[in-house]
Chain A
Amino acid sequence: MEILLQLIISGASLGMIYAIIAFGYQLTFATSGTLNFGQGEALMLGALVGLSLAGSVHGGPYLNYWLMIPLVVIFGCFQGAFVEWIAVRPAIKIKSEFGWIMSTIALSIIFKNVAENIWGKDDLTFPSPLSDEPFTIFGANVQPMQVVVVVGALLMMAAVEIFNRKSIYGKAVVATSNDRDAAGLMGINTSAVITFSYALSSATAAFAGVLVAPLTLTGATMGASLGLKAFAVAIIGGLTSGVGAIVGGLILGVAEELTGYYVASGYKEVPGLVLLLLVLAIKPAGLFGKVAIKKV
């Protein structure tokens, strides 16, 4: 029983990381129908910028961990807006169906190479703001930082949802997601909304980066596998549902841990991919996604 609980806790904290990156995929998909395939790199850049501010790699620490977070989120906003401006806007303008796929992937490779030049190719340790000593809940060990990851991810997603539902700017975002052309006719600057959604999406990824960094190692290559897993989560949960991202993330994280323990550690990645194939075959819009009907 304790074992099961331990596996679920580890899986859940891993799954929440997947969820918050997947949430970033959804934000841009909702407004523009495009995705930033460099979401994992946005996370990596956030973590490394955070490390420069709160760690000692560039002569720091300049700020403590908690004060560094807002700066990293702001950095994420700019990074996301940059991606939209360079890679996505030209593709939308010429109504290219797939141009943004290649250009966001190309940008992500450039970001990785830039990071390798600034921070080097080695994995670095991120100083943990809280004690590493685990505490015990019903016989399972939990690190304080794992709790911060879960709570932080949920808060971030809740904040974005509340903003979208309550504020006038948020309503513009929702209107653009529902029907971009109609929103444009109503006087909403849809192009600004799309830029904004990219900024928000990279900001959540950067935030996820500084959350996960103290639990893992930080380095230019940390984003690739996380970004890919989160993409699977976004597909499993559905690209149009915030709840889908959370549930999808939890399912994938916990399934990995359970398979690793009860089957064999070599098969850890298999259930997530099987689930992905099943969802695509049976419910292509995702577990919680709305079916979009494309009128021709």
Chain B
Amino acid sequence: MKLQAIVAAITIGWAMTSMAAEPIKIGVSGPFTGGSAPMGVSMRDGVKLAVAEINAKGGVLGRQIQLVERDEEAKNERGVQVAQELINKEKVVATVGFINTGVALASQRFYEEAKIPVINNVATGTAVTKQFTDQPDNYVFRNAANDTIQSSMIVDQAIVKQKFTKVAIMADTTNYGQLGRADLEKALAAKGITAVASEKFNLKDVDMTAQLLRAKQAGAQVILTYSYGPELAQLANGMQKLGWKVPMIGSWTLSMSNFIDNAGKNGEGAKMPQTFFQDSTTPKRKAFVDSYLKAYNPPAGRIPSPVSAAQGYDSVYLLAAAIKQAGSTDGPAVRAALESLKEKVDGVVTTYDKPFTHDDHEAIKPGMAVFGQVSNGRVVAAQ
């Protein structure tokens, strides 16, 4: 009897200490291979950088953060598998990530059901944070410039600043492309303009002649784009093939390295909304870029997607602040803390002052994004 008590006491004591030291598991879901990989890899590396910094300072609630990274290959069905694995097998406290709007929309319901917060740090589809607004509590947050913000910026740049009147829309057939096209058309309608051509193409299409000719014949002065890097490069190269050159203004994917590299000189001058530039001047941003380059040494000293890296980095700090304020890793408590963050979170994109409320889950507000432009193979602030 006495022996049993001792054994029990030791076991409990042991379990307690191992509990105290147990790390906080955070899931990272993104495409680390394929056409969206520049964004996915940069986001993951930004996340890792933030976690390393936090852990070096003693972690959160006295516990270290442990990342569980999964490649969902930008495929909706893989995203669903990853979500279930992270929730049920890995028992993550929260997940950051999602690059592709389609993957986010397919995977998020598992987090909503499990009451586990998700911070979208890259996916931009307007619907992403609106998926569960009919539920009492919405567990989906975002710190990326959504497509409503981006499309109205794009239209503003084309119609108001550059005074174009005839615009063509080029969007791929994915969720991202088609939801973006709808947002662009809405933003154009608000300015009383209808696109002279609105064309579709599939991912992996090798010839864009028909689409571009339709835009050319309709007299388009500018093309507005919503697609991913390789296909955007096909568009830019296709214009070169036809000997037709009009400006490209599009969603932020025009900053992807696989657009810039594959389009080469045909991609010069393309404009897109950005929340972050690699060539930044503020000390905080510069320190972030330096430590990224030092830790991951990307080719040619260029972060594949600086915006994704910065937003990935910030998403971890937002989450860490919420866990600290909640004093626990319980899903509903962390969600409540995210919706009422007391402490200002000093990120590299901006300083987040009460970024979320119960009804507003968008940390990036209109005005926080500015225009970038491709120049000599890099993205710089547009003048």
Contact = CB atoms under 8 A, between A and B. Distances in A.
B162 interface: no
B241 A216 contact: no
Chain B contact surface mostly: helix
Contacts of A143: 241
Contact of B206 (A134, A216, A261): A216
A268 B204 contact: no
Interface string B161-202: 000000000000100000000000000000000000001111
Interface in B233-248: 233-234, 237, 240-243
A149 to B, nearest CB: 12
Given A7-B210, A14-B206, A261-B210, A121 B33 contact: yes
Interface in B262-285: 262, 264
Contacts of B4: none
Contact of B210 (A132, A134, A224, A268): A268
Interface stretch (B62-70, B211-219, B313-321): B211-219
Interface string A266-279: 10110000000000
B207 A265 contact: no
Nearest to A229: B206
Contacts of B243: 134, 136, 141
Contact of B34 (A122, A259, A265, A266): A122
B204 A122 contact: no
A214 B201 CA distance: 20
A216 B173 CA distance: 19
19 contacts: A6-B213, A6-B242, A7-B210, A10-B209, A10-B241, A11-B209, A14-B206, A122-B34, A123-B262, A132-B240, A134-B242, A141-B243, A256-B207, A260-B209, A260-B211, A261-B210, A261-B214, A265-B199, A266-B200
Nearest to B199: A265
Interface string B23-36: 00000000001110
A294 B20 CA distance: 76
Interface in A224-270: 224-226, 256-261, 264-266, 268-269
Q: Give 4 nearest A-B pairs by CB, closest first.
A: A260-B210, A10-B209, A121-B33, A216-B206
A257 B210 contact: yes
B37 interface: yes
A217 interface: yes
Contacts of A123: 35, 230, 258, 262
Interface of B: 33-35, 37, 173, 199-202, 204, 206-207, 209-211, 213-214, 217, 230, 233-234, 237, 240-243, 258, 261-262, 264
A14 B206 CA distance: 9
A121 B200 contact: no
A264 B201 CA distance: 10
A3 interface: yes
Contacts of B201: 265
B37 A122 contact: yes
Contacts of B211: 260, 265
Given A141-B242, A266-B200, 9 more contacts: A10-B241, A121-B33, A122-B34, A122-B258, A123-B230, A125-B261, A256-B210, A260-B211, A261-B210
A164 interface: no
Contact of A7 (B206, B209, B241): B209
Nearest to B229: A123
Contact of A6 (B33, B206, B209, B240): B209
A215 interface: yes
Contact of B204 (A3, A225, A264): A225
A208 interface: no
Nearest to B73: A121
A221 interface: yes
A136 B242 CA distance: 10
A212 interface: yes
A121 B229 CA distance: 14
B200 to A, nearest CB: 5
A287 interface: no
Contacts of A257: 207, 209-210
B178 to A, nearest CB: 10
